[in-house]
Amino acid sequence: MKRRATLVAMVVVGMVLLSSGTAVAELKAEKLSLTPMIGGYVFEGNQQSERHDGAFSLALGFNATKNWGTEFTLSYVDSESRYGNHSDIDVYLIRWEVLYHFWPEKKLVPYLAAGGGTLIADPEGRDPDPDLMVDYGGGLKYFLTENLALRGDVRHVYEIDDKYNNLIYSFGLLIQFAGSK
């Protein structure tokens, strides 16, 4: 898993170094974005999973206006049980969020996010356990070029059915494309 995270980080850094441009760097209305991310997931202490595991995410976003956007994110967490035989527990998060961007015309764009979705815990040898979840949080997008930005964010994930409070954090590269200028 560490090799995979290192490879993803090297690809992100390589893309940033190879991209150049002097165009205005800012969040644009009516643009799609794709953001691959790596990070971590922190489980509440009374859950069966290891307390802290790596997370891999891919987000597809659309900015309706410069300030308001929406995003669909798929995340994968490779965990294992803290008890017994330390069996694998795969965790999948399917999230849909609304984002509000502050100062979208700047290179550094802070934002708030809130949404919901499904968290599916898939323990080895047992049936998957889907739970409804809500999440909220925020982050920063730092534009390097007109359509590339470094991104960091954090979300509080609340599992409604099991009443667990978890945390996911991630870092990635946002790529804006399509849509009008």
Measured distance CA(121)–CA(129) in Å, rounded? 5
Question: Which sign, positive or negative, has the C-alpha torsion 153, 155, 129, 47?
Answer: positive
> What's the pLDDT at 90?
85
- Domains of the chain from N-terminus onward: 2-177 (2.40.160.20)
* Contact status, residue 90 vs residue 56, Cβ threshold 8 Å: no
Q: Give the tokens for residue 38.
A: 């790596």
**Residue pLDDT, tens place only, 110-146:** 999 999 999 998 777 677 778 999 999 999 999 999 9
Residue ranges in the chain modelled with pLDDT below 70: 1-24, 45-52, 80-87, 125, 179-181
Q: Which amino acid is at 176?
A: Q
